[in-house]
Every structure is written in structure tokens, then in C-alpha cells.
Structure 1
């Protein structure tokens, strides 16, 4: 990733989202582009127009935390955006070292942790590669795993390039928005990740919906939430998920759960019984679906 371009496009996209009225400024004359002008951002941040222009050209080297705070207030950055701005500033710094590459495998201890969990659980890196899962996690994400055809499954690649994704993810639009925002956040944390650059290039070339979302520069860090999905064997599932950052490994463990007493909880139990009956093998999508026990 080109850090200067990322900084420039991120700051430009953020000021384009704020009107002078929202910022409490009086607007004079017609505007060729929406949002605040550079001079207005500089005014709100308490810095010179020349200095802000330098920052927006992509030069965050040596910028102080105080200036970043002022920019965050002026541009009304949320917590995820502010984290991304800090990451970009670190990437632009002269002392920035090359970040340790995300691992392609997980340690045995992490796999044991996954296997000890009763609900579906998986481990992903910042590129949304699915690196490990417990038996129920593999069963839950069987379409994503199958689509990889023996390669490392990648959530983003499945989401944008596999036609089955539209049916599998109950709210595809939201899943797509969140996934691109996660990849953008990862690009800020590690702009030297060539594998991530290649993935973004592939998806941008092959899918217009990804390319459009990438241009928005929306940012998202890992948060808890809910995911509806349509599993090919058990049907509709409404699950919640909790991410746990594995800081020592630059990885994220994601655990899924269903509301106690819900239809989704019953379907997870049914899916779990299949994994046991099949010797912890993920169920094939061609398996026959039994009658609904309810």
C-alpha cells in the first residue's frame, strides 16, 4: 500500500462527509465538492492552512499527538477512524520498522483453545484468512472452506467472488461493508503487507462492488456484533459473535453463539451432532438435510 496515498484519500474522504453547518461554520459561495474546505478543517483544528495541506498531501511524518487529536475533533472521527489515523501516522514515521508478517498457521495452544470451546470458533488474520477453527466452526463455515479448494480460505475473497456468498450471508450488504472496512484498517496497520496488497488488487479488478466500497475509505476494527446467515444444511441462523485479539500472534479469535432457547441454538446443536457423527469432519454441502426436529 502507498501510505501517502492512503493518508491523502482518508483525510479527503473524512472532510467530504462534514458540512459547514454540521461543523458550526458559516458557508459562503457555491462549493464544487461536498464537505469542508481545507481552510475550514485547518480553522477547526487550530493549525495553519499550509500545515494542514501538507498533512492532507500524505505527509504525517513527525506529527504530534496533539495535532492528531485536533484533526480527530475537526473531522469528527469515530474511535475506529482515530485508531486508523494513528496507524497511518506511525506508518509515515521515519522510525517505522517493517511489521512482523501475520502467521499463516496457528500455534498448537491456540488450536487447543479453539477445540475447548463448545460453540463455533475460528481464528483469522488481518487479511481475513481463515487459519484455524474448531469442528463446529468448520461445519458452520463449510461453504467458505469448500470454496477455497484446499487453499487457505479467505472470507473477503468468498464474499465478493463466490456467487454462493449472497445466499450464505443473510445481510450481504452489511457483511461486505464491514469486511472492506476491516481490510482498510489492516492496510493502515501494515501498509507493507504485499499479500494484502495483492488481495485488494485482485478484488478491485474482479468486483466492482468491492472497488466502490474500497474508495469510500470506511474503517472498522473488530467489534462484537450479530450475523444472520443461511447454512446449506440447517437453514437460517441468527448468531452473535465476540472477537478476542491474540496480540502476541497478530490474530483474532472469533467465537459465535446463539440466543439461549432460540431456534438458532437448536440448529447449532443439530450441526454439532453431525460433526460428531462424521468424526469431526465438516459436513458436505451435498449431504441430505433431515427433517426439522421442531
Structure 2
């Protein structure tokens, strides 16, 4: 990613975070009068971060050379950034200061070690798959193949979850909270773009989705970042019906950029019978006609 693009991302990210806060949100007195900006003024952010207005203006323009971790921490606190946003800002600053730095992270890895497939296959009570940071599904167990049969049913190999969410109309039925998964998908790609700014495959994927999906483009322009870590995902499976499953995303330290995603359910949960039926399905039973 060119240096100018990284600086633009920093500018847009800081501007968008500033715009979402009001003086009341930040604990500042409301002096009244008409405000010409959405959210906080630059002077107010500078005051909260205990830096000069001139210095904050320089940072917001993407000129972050030599900025200290202490200043970034103060700025993150002033803008009420969460942990994911703090990490994103730090990644953007690293990219701006060392645009050609080497990294051992392969966000677009296309293969998994045999031992990881063995681990997936051993998980018989949970749907589990391995994905890379581009949201490509690289390996699955049998239950994941049954759960994600529509996402896996594609000519694009490996299947990509972001393409499924934004380009396949079946996704809106499959994900009962489509808005939530769309937000998470864009947020994950935005965070990865800051970590690996020189990845041409990721840039190509983002350009493709922004060109083909107005909804993706609008979310991308919002500069929100997110990690898909844990929670509950609400599905509507074409054969098993509604499923409210608990998910956990576990990063693999030995393979930076790869994540194991699992979906499980308590035996006493309301949708446990439907999940049990899905576990009993054989691949040929899941073939659509």
C-alpha cells in the first residue's frame, strides 16, 4: 500500500472517530452555540490528549513520523478507542513509519498443516473450520461442511466468507443477523489491511467487493474495525432450520494469520435438537436439488 494511502487511512480513521463523539461523550462542558463540525473539534481532542492543536492536526493529516507510544495511548483514550481500534491505529502508524517492513504474517495463506485438519476432524460435537485473514475457508470438519454448505458451494476456491456475505443472495437468509456479520466481515478486513498493507491479494479482494457491492463500499468508507472473537451467531440452515450457535475464534500462534472458528451448542439449548439433526446428516443428504 503506498505511503500516501496509509496516511489517508490514518486521516480518515482519526476523523471518523472524532466525528462520532460529542463533548458530552468526552466529558467536556457544552458551551452552547452552533457547532460547525460533526463531533469533537480538533482543539477538543488535543485538549483531551494533552497535546497541542498543531501537533494533533499534524497527526490527523497522517504525519505520524516519530510519534511516541505514550502520545498514541493518550490519543486513543481521548477518542474513546476500544482495544481493537487501538491496535488498528498502532498498525497504521507502523505501516506509515516502515512501509516496507518485513512481516512473518501470511494473511492470505492457502494451506493448513495436516495436524490442523486432524484437530478439526477430532471435533465431532462442534462445527469447526480454519480461515485465513482474508476470510478464505481453508479446511473444515464434517459438521462445518454441513453447516456452511451454501458458502462452500461456490466456483471460487478457496471459498471466501466476505464474498459469500456480500455477493451471494443466500447469505441474507443463512445469517439471520446479516447486518451484524456484514459489519464483522468488513471490520476484520479493514483491520487486516492495516496489518499487511502491501498484500496485493487483500487489496484485490477489497477492490472487488467495493466495486460489486455498494453495501460493502459504504461500510468500508466508515473505517470501522472489528475482530470476530466470540459470541452467538444466528443462522437459518436450509435443512436444519434456525440455529443459535455459540462461536469462538481462536488464533493459531504457530501459523500467524490463521484462525480456527468453532460453533457449538449446549445440549440443553433450545436449538439443540436441530443441531443434533445436522450432525446426523451425511454429505449426500445435504446436496441441494
Deviation beyond 3 Å, 4+ runs, structure 1: 26-29
Say whether the 8 Å CA contact 2:129–2:137 is kept in structure 1: yes
TM-score (norm 1): 0.90
**Partner residue of 1:220?**
226
Say whether the 8 Å CA contact 1:142–1:282 is kept in structure 2: no
Consecutive unaligned residues of structure 2, counting only runs of 5 or more, are: none
Say whether the 8 Å CA contact 1:140–1:231 is kept in structure 2: yes
Are 1:47 and 2:51 an aligned pair?
yes
SS of the residue corresponding to residue 248 of structure 1 reads: coil
Are 1:30 and 2:34 an aligned pair?
yes
Match of 2:68 among 61, 64, 67: 64
Match of 1:108 among 98, 110, 114: 114
Root mean square deviation, CA, Å: 1.7
The 10-residue stretch of structure 1 (205-214 or 255-264) with the greater mean CA deviation from structure 2:
255-264
Q: Structure 1: how far apart are the matches of 2:139 and 2:149? A: 13
**Partner residue of 2:21?**
18
1:69-148 equivalent positions in 2, closer than 5 A: 69-94=73-98, 97-100=101-104, 101-102=106-107, 103-118=109-124, 119-146=126-153, 148=154
SS of the residue corresponding to residue 225 of structure 1 reads: strand
Consecutive unaligned residues of structure 1, counting only runs of 5 or more, are: 287-294
Q: Structure 2: how far apart are the matches of 1:149 and 1:264? A: 31
Cα shift readout 1:27-64 (whole Å, capped 9, x = no counterpart) = 46422221111121111111111211111111223211
Q: Structure 2: how far apart are the matches of 1:49 and 1:89? A: 19
Q: How many residues of Structure 1 are paired with residues of Structure 2 in the alignment? A: 281
Cα shift readout 1:76-127 (whole Å, capped 9, x = no counterpart) = 1111111111111221223861334331111111111111112100111111
Match of 1:202 among 205, 208, 233: 208
SS of the residue corresponding to residue 22 of structure 1 reads: helix
**Partner residue of 1:6?**
9
1:116-195 equivalent positions in 2, closer than 5 A: 116-118=122-124, 119-146=126-153, 148-149=154-155, 151-195=157-201
Q: Structure 2: how far apart are the matches of 1:238 and 1:52? A: 45
Say whether the 8 Å CA contact 1:245–1:252 is kept in structure 2: yes
Distance 1:212 1:95, change over 3 A: closer
SS of the residue corresponding to residue 254 of structure 2 reads: helix
Cα shift readout 1:164-205 (whole Å, capped 9, x = no counterpart) = 111011111111111111111111211111111111111111
